[in-house]
Amino acid sequence: MVAKDEKVDAASPAQAELKKGPWKPEEDMLLIEYVKKHGERDWNMVRKHSGLARCGKSCRLRWNNHLRPNLRKGPFSPDEEKLICELHSQMGNKWARIAAMLPGRTDNEIKNFWNTRVKRLARKGVPLYPADVQSPRPDLLNPYLHHLDAQNNASSSSLSTSSSSNLQLHPPALLSPTTPTSHPLLFPPSASSQTFQDYDVGLQDSMAMYDAALENFRQQQQQQQMFASAMMNDAPSPQLTSSLQRFKRHRSVPNLTISVPPVRHVALHPFSPLGLSTSSSSPMGRSVSVAGSPTTTTSYMHVASSPHSYASSPTGMVLSPTALQLGISMPQPAMRLPLSSSPVVNCRPTYLPRTSSFSFDPMLFDLNPAAAQVTHMQNPTQTLDAIDNELAFSVEDLGISMDHETTGIPPNQPSYHVNGPQQMQTANCNNAGLLDEFLKEAETISIRGEEKAEFSAEQAEAFLKELESDWEQSRLDCSTSGQASMDKPEAQTVREYQMESSMAEPELNNELSNLLEANPMDHSFWNDGSDGLDLGCNNGTPKSQASQPSDDNDHHHQYYQLNHFIDDHLGMEMHQLTGSVPVGASPTWDNMPGIY
């Protein structure tokens, strides 16, 4: 038998002399010398330049896991272990991403640690995650449940003659994959009394844990019911509610209540009627398809790659827990696209959530009426129904931008289309002023899927009038169909309404500011590292600098002031309303795509 460290790969003559197995010190020295000279790249050149009889992959692995500087060896500290648990609860088996959060640790180490842990804890029948770790995504728990099942099977076969406590500890109903996050063996019963160090208790404590966990689970269910109820009836205070309603009325988003999730800008380009910021691709950017019209244009969102944006989310895919609670999602999964397919829309990552969802700010519908579709897959609420009915857009209707010269996108990239103002007419869009600006900036644009046409000022004006007419008609339709509510503005033209709104905003802004200042809130939820950045700013420029319109247009300035205010205050207020998700109630991150 050939010793492991003498193994060679005889699969092909070209690789016959490649060595496998453990590395020897002299091999390490050769590799270190190579990296000193040539850097951490071209691993397949190691053999050529150093004479080391190892494949490139093996060299890279050896360097990354053992030889590179600043590696930390030895057992994980309690803090590291807890961090791994927390990260794993949110990311799953994304070892490279988890390792990126633990300086000096390798993905291999963490993977080994975790796999060992899963087996050990399953064998003991104790929770996989410490009490103070946020509830993991349900799909992450399947391997652990599998281990538990395997453990149970082993126990039941080996302990068939006794009423084993093991068996009592694992009632089949509680191992159901349909309720993994409430499984008492996935979470210890008490979040207050346990630390990571001491939660890992032995089997003798499991009976008490189980009893306590059942009680805890019942309490959680009650909390969830209360939570859902609060979501339906949320109102921080009559005063604030009234102000918000007034605020939204002036933002011309009728029939919205404050239970709308506090997710903010989808996009922020001040001159785009869709509110989409155009940008050329950045080297680190990730392109995500958010809409694919079956017949015309496919639009992509290009996820900004600024360090700030990724600080809290390496993938840039973070979904607001509130949005998740409300079941807001995209109508179709996002798709992984090659960077070279370039794109198009630069979107703040926070709002390009998980693979199948993205969220939006209804506040911006008047900026961005066609940019989002609300679908409610779970926990439908009256509010969401109202949104859906009012704003029955499809992201498939997305797709407008400026010409290549303006955007900097190469001419060989597809041009953009307005798929028609018919989408806008279903909304009470008062973004005509913005559209006006946009059209003045734009040189070419196509409408209703027609061929690209030069857009003159006259054409823009005609387009605007058409929009106004559509909007007016839709509003009248609402009034005559008995759906008008006190939230509806009085009949007026778009421009008049816009002007009134513009004038009213500072006053409302002040009013809301005063209210919110009087009720300080926990801001930590949104202080996730991605705050402070806007779309259209993928170089890490702070929001306050980046998204200000370049001109001194008062209206736009107010828009931005207001939107920043929403970011900084309203979102947090909404978090106060909805953010206290009970342990085990729902995931906060979900199906984040890996780093591409």
Partner DNA sequence: AAATGCCTCAACCGCCGAAGT
Partner DNA sequence: GACTTCGGCGGTTGAGGCATT
| Site residues for DNA per CB under 7 A | 3-4, 9, 19-23, 41-44, 56-58, 60-62, 65-66, 75, 93-97, 107-109, 111-113, 115-116, 119-120, 123, 336-340, 594-596
For residues 252, 253, 258, 260, the Cα torsion angle rounded to the nearest 10 degrees is -150
Instruction: Compare residues 9 and 198 and give the one whose CB is closer to DNA.
Output: 9
d(CA 351, CA 335): 15
In angstroms, give the least distance from the CB of 416 to DNA.
20
Q: What angle do CA 249, 385, 484 make, to 5 degrees?
A: 45
In angstroms, give the least distance from the CB of 283 to DNA.
7
Instruction: Compare residues 19 and 269 and give the one whose CB is closer to DNA.
Output: 19
In angstroms, give the least distance from the CB of 590 to DNA.
16
Beta strands in 209-353 (DSSP E): 277-278, 286-292, 298-303, 336-337, 345-347
In angstroms, give the least distance from the CB of 478 to DNA.
45
Residue 66 backbone zone (phi > 0: left; psi -120 to 50: alpha; other: beta): alpha
d(CA 99, CA 104): 8
Three-state secondary-structure class, residue 276: coil
Instruction: Compare residues 123 and 488 and give the one whose CB is closer to DNA.
Output: 123
d(CA 169, CA 209): 9
Tokens of 343: 């794109």
Beta strands in 427-506 (DSSP E): 444-445, 453-454
Instruction: Compare residues 56 and 529 and give the one whose CB is closer to DNA.
Output: 56
In angstroms, give the least distance from the CB of 577 to DNA.
34
Instruction: Compare residues 74 and 172 and give the one whose CB is closer to DNA.
Output: 74
Instruction: Compare residues 261 and 349 and give the one whose CB is closer to DNA.
Output: 349
d(CA 575, CA 570): 8
Instruction: Compare residues 58 and 501 and give the one whose CB is closer to DNA.
Output: 58
d(CA 363, CA 79): 41
In angstroms, give the least distance from the CB of 114 to DNA.
8
Long-range contacts of 456-463 (CB under 8 A, 24+ apart): 460/436, 463/421, 463/435, 463/439
Q: How far is CA 138 from CA 125, 143, 176, in A?
A: 18, 11, 11
Instruction: Compare residues 300 and 559 and give the one whose CB is closer to DNA.
Output: 300
d(CA 117, CA 124): 10
What is the torsional sign of CA 448, 553, 546, 280? positive
Instruction: Compare residues 47 and 265 and give the one whose CB is closer to DNA.
Output: 47
In angstroms, give the least distance from the CB of 582 to DNA.
28
In angstroms, give the least distance from the CB of 539 to DNA.
18
Instruction: Compare residues 37 and 41 and give the one whose CB is closer to DNA.
Output: 41
In angstroms, give the least distance from the CB of 178 to DNA.
22
Instruction: Compare residues 414 and 594 and give the one whose CB is closer to DNA.
Output: 594
Tokens of 482: 């008995």
In angstroms, give the least distance from the CB of 535 to DNA.
21
Q: From 245, 304, 313, select the one nearest 269 (Cα to Cα).
A: 304
Instruction: Compare residues 91 and 274 and give the one whose CB is closer to DNA.
Output: 91
Q: 381, 326 in Cβ contact below 8 A?
A: yes
Tokens of 536: 């259209």
CB atoms within 10 A of CB 449: 14
In angstroms, give the least distance from the CB of 264 to DNA.
27
d(CA 127, CA 112): 19
In angstroms, give the least distance from the CB of 111 to DNA.
6
In angstroms, give the least distance from the CB of 57 to DNA.
6
Instruction: Compare residues 122 and 240 and give the one whose CB is closer to DNA.
Output: 122
Listed in sequence order, the residues at least 6 apart from 564 whose beta carbon sits closer than 8 Å to its beta carbon are 543, 544
CB atoms within 10 A of CB 37: 9
d(CA 309, CA 286): 12
